[in-house]
Structure 1
């Protein structure tokens, strides 16, 4: 089953619009969204523990890692909406797969590049590298879509509760 990216972009648009309206915000908050994505990628890396060569503690449970992963999907979709790329379909890059640490560093590099190069090519590279990371983490497209939909509900509930 392939992810229905058009549906996820639409759901993200609905959430973003709700947040902007609720908080009386104007502007695109592009830099803030980029920084939020960097933070989410860091939280994901922390849950995988892939870089913690000094520790014997295992990674977090798969469900926690998946939840952190889809937090990143939320911000990638949100960035796409700001850039008007809401119909983009990412590709998994299986030809250039690195180890997980290198994949995280590649994603950080792509986020930094997107700050100055807001092209469809750079956005597509970031999105595709993130999808590749999801595959490296063992997530199917069905896992990702289901987790995104579940977290989207949680994000709406948070807005209702004054998050």
Structure 2
């Protein structure tokens, strides 16, 4: 995933929204945190892992773009064919948009990176407290990145939340960085189209 590329794309989208909605000079950070928290809830709802009261604790499976194989006898799917829909991944990248917006607004984007070693640690050790434990810890760190007084502590908590968010997607649900980037690009294009159409 080319993080610098998608940060640039997110900044362009954010600037367009500010310009076209006449929001110059307004502090939009509280709204962005509420939007991220809301989207994280929608992601969890789609993921269903925490619904111990339900027989359905797995997310909906993606709908693939099937294409005929070379001899035309069967339909097949390869990652490069993409998806008709993948609701869980779509909710995940909605969260990604707001994580990026916060990093941009706070000036924390320079330190943003893909923590490959931390992700490998999660793959080996698993999630302490299960997926729900990691999700709650991510939320707690995210809220601390907003509510603490010390700016350095806020930044540290944001980066903890970011690492946990990536681990949830990559380790918890098996998303690849390529899938995340492609889904981000698709949703970013949808968001630009929505602005154009007066969303």
TM over 0.5: yes
Measure, in 2, the Cα distance between the counterparts of 1:70 and 1:61.
16
Q: Which moved more, 1:41-50 or 1:87-96?
A: 87-96
Measure, in 2, the Cα distance between the counterparts of 1:106 and 1:60.
25
Which secondary structure state, in structure 1, belongs to the residue aligned with residue 109 of structure 2? Answer: coil
How far has the Cα of 1:124 moved from its partner? 1.2
Measure, in 2, the Cα distance between the counterparts of 1:124 and 1:111.
9
Measure, in 1, the Cα distance between the counterparts of 2:59 and 2:147.
34
Q: Which moved more, 1:41-50 or 1:114-123?
A: 114-123
Structure possessing the higher radius of gyration over alpha carbons: 2
Aligned to 1:145: 181
Q: Comparing both chains, which one has the higher relative contact order based on Cα–Cα distances under 8 Å and sequence gaps of 6 or more?
A: 1
Measure, in 2, the Cα distance between the counterparts of 1:72 and 1:148.
10
Aligned to 2:9: 11
Aligned to 2:113: 89
Q: Which moved more, 1:14-23 or 1:50-59?
A: 50-59
Aligned to 2:37: 38
Measure, in 1, the Cα distance between the counterparts of 2:52 and 2:113.
35
Aligned to 1:162: 198
How far has the Cα of 1:100 moved from its partner? 1.3
Aligned to 1:105: 136
Q: CA RMSD in A?
A: 1.5
Aligned to 2:161: 126
How far has the Cα of 1:131 moved from its partner? 0.5
How far has the Cα of 1:108 moved from its partner? 1.1
How far has the Cα of 1:20 moved from its partner? 0.4
1:65-85 Cα distance to aligned partner (Å, 9 max, x none): 000000010000000001112
Measure, in 2, the Cα distance between the counterparts of 1:56 and 1:139.
24
Measure, in 2, the Cα distance between the counterparts of 1:49 and 1:153.
27
1:28, 1:82 within 8 Å by CA — same for their partners in 2?
no
> Which structure has more strand as a fraction of its residues?
2
Scaled by the length of structure 1, the TM-score of the pair is 0.92
Scaled by the length of structure 2, the TM-score of the pair is 0.76
Q: Which 4+ residue blocks in structure 1 deviate beyond 6 angstroms?
A: none
Number of corresponding residues: 161
Q: Which moved more, 1:96-105 or 1:28-37?
A: 96-105
How far has the Cα of 1:86 moved from its partner? 2.3
Measure, in 1, the Cα distance between the counterparts of 2:61 and 2:93.
15
- Unaligned runs of at least 5 residues, structure 1: none
